Amino acid sequence: MSRQRPRVLLVIGLLGGGGAERQLALFAERARHLVDLGGFIVNPGGVWDGHVRAQLARVYDAKATSRAGKLAAFARAVLRDRPDVIHCWHTAPAIYPLLTWPMHRRPVVVNIRAMLTRSTDSGAPKLQPSARLLRFASATVANSQHLFDDLEGAGLHAPAPLVVPNGIVVPEQAALHTSSADAPLRIAAIGTLKPLKNWAQLLRVTARLRQAGRAVETTIYGEGPDRAALTSLATWLGLDPARTLPGFSANIAEDLRQHDLLVHASHTEGQPNAVLEALACGLPAVTSALPACVALQAQGDFVRTFAVDDDDGCIAALSPWLTDTAARQRAGAAGRAHVIANFGVDTMAARYVALYRSLAARAR
């Protein structure tokens, strides 16, 4: 096998509608021409499943429900595939290549997006089972430096840490920004419907703005386990669930163009893909004070942050953009320019490919 085209086996969890899955789809589209990409899919299914499979030269399905069965399936896949590098795109399935490392001895790259999370009740750190096995990893990748800092704070060392920011495809056309002072302000949100994303706060804020006399329409694009609870909450708050929770968007760039700004209220996250996609479309963003979003705010007035779970703070951050169309347009243009300069999808793919080549060369 040529060193210029290493053989890589991706370890993939459920290909749902989240940012990590969108990043994988974009990465595979670019990288499949530069490396020999295969995939071990632990949990088949999800909205991106078919798209990602189409980019892979080889696919191995776990076809097992128990952890022991999946572990055995992974061991068989490695023996058959003989990869130069194993890359755990999702964090939870990293347990399979890390547990079997003494057998296969391949370089293992682990993405640590959700290696450590925090309880929304107590704030206590919660570690993935694979976290204790990181010593077997050859390299670790995060989309934001603070994820490595969090691991260090929990007493875990991430081997050979590398920050690879998310990559974004920038649409040719930016947002329309047609809302005026007497027209509804259209707020967009993107993400899986799950507690970590804190969509209940956005629904509360929307209802409060309406009660204060401001015409606001909020649309949350996504699917997930919280759909029923959020539908009930939207109804109780007087919001239209069909308009507010339309489901997963297969063309999010076009949908975002119809909105005026994005709100992202997540409790914890690395580098939110949703925020970058909104900026790429020319929408300013109001977000919870996630470290990556605070860093974006420091780069210009196209992101404004508020304390997690602070409804008043969210409304205060929104207020300057509620009625000032020109200000939203200026902020959106600045954010779009920032994403173009710093978050290209080709740059993201090239960083991963360079890592593969380096690890494959050292392993020979």
CATH number at residue 311: 3.40.50.2000
pLDDT at 289: 94
pLDDT band at residue 1 under the 50/70/90 scheme: very low
- Together in a domain, 189 and 296: yes
Q: Tokens 């076009």 identify what position? A: 254
What phi-psi label fits residue 319: left (phi over 0), alpha (psi between -120 and 50 degrees) or beta?
Answer: alpha
Q: How far apart are CA 208 and CA 71, in angstroms?
A: 49
Whether 202 maps to a domain, the answer reads yes
Beta bridge partners of 86: 9, 108
**CB count in 10 Å sphere of residue 349:** 22
Amino acid present at 361 = A
DSSP result, 260-273: SEEEE--SS-SS-H
- Among 74, 24, 81, 75, CA closest to 57: 81
Whether 175 maps to a domain, the answer reads no
Instruction: Give the mean model confidence (pLDDT) for residues 146-150.
Output: 86
Number of residues that this document lists for the chain: 364
Lowest mean pLDDT among 5-14, 120-129, 192-201, 257-266: 120-129
pLDDT of 181 strictly over 70: no
pLDDT band at residue 2 under the 50/70/90 scheme: very low
Q: How far apart are CA 84 and CA 77, in angstroms?
A: 13
- Together in a domain, 133 and 195: no
- Together in a domain, 217 and 110: no
**Cα dist from 115 to 79, 125, 225, 265, whole Å:** 27, 10, 21, 20
- Together in a domain, 141 and 248: no
User: What is the extent of the structural domain holding 283?
Assistant: 185-342
Q: How far apart are CA 7 and CA 39, in angstroms?
A: 11
pLDDT band at residue 315 under the 50/70/90 scheme: very high
pLDDT of 182 strictly over 70: no
- Together in a domain, 15 and 68: yes
Q: How far apart are CA 148 and CA 353, in angstroms?
A: 21
pLDDT in tens, 191-231: 999 998 999 999 999 999 999 999 999 999 999 999 999 99
- Together in a domain, 259 and 126: no
Whether 179 maps to a domain, the answer reads no
List, in sequence order, every beta strand (DSSP E) within 26-174: 36-41, 58-61, 85-88, 108-111, 116-118, 125-127, 139-142, 161-163
- Together in a domain, 217 and 155: no
> How many distinct structural domains can be found in the chain?
2
Whether 180 maps to a domain, the answer reads no
Q: How far apart are CA 22 and CA 250, in angstroms?
A: 11
pLDDT at 9: 98
Contact 34, 3 (CB under 8 A): no
Q: Work out whether the CA dihedral 102, 85, 47, 26 comes out positive or negative.
A: positive
Indicate the pairing of strand 7-12 with strand 36-41. parallel
Q: What is the mean pLDDT of the chain?
A: 90
Cα Rg for the chain, rounded, in angstroms? 21
- Together in a domain, 193 and 161: no
- Together in a domain, 126 and 25: yes
- Together in a domain, 213 and 285: yes
pLDDT band at residue 278 under the 50/70/90 scheme: very high
HSE (side-chain half, CA atoms, 13 Å) at 362:
13
Whether 278 maps to a domain, the answer reads yes
Task: Give me 135's structure tokens.
Answer: 């010593």
Q: What is the pTM of this model?
A: 0.81
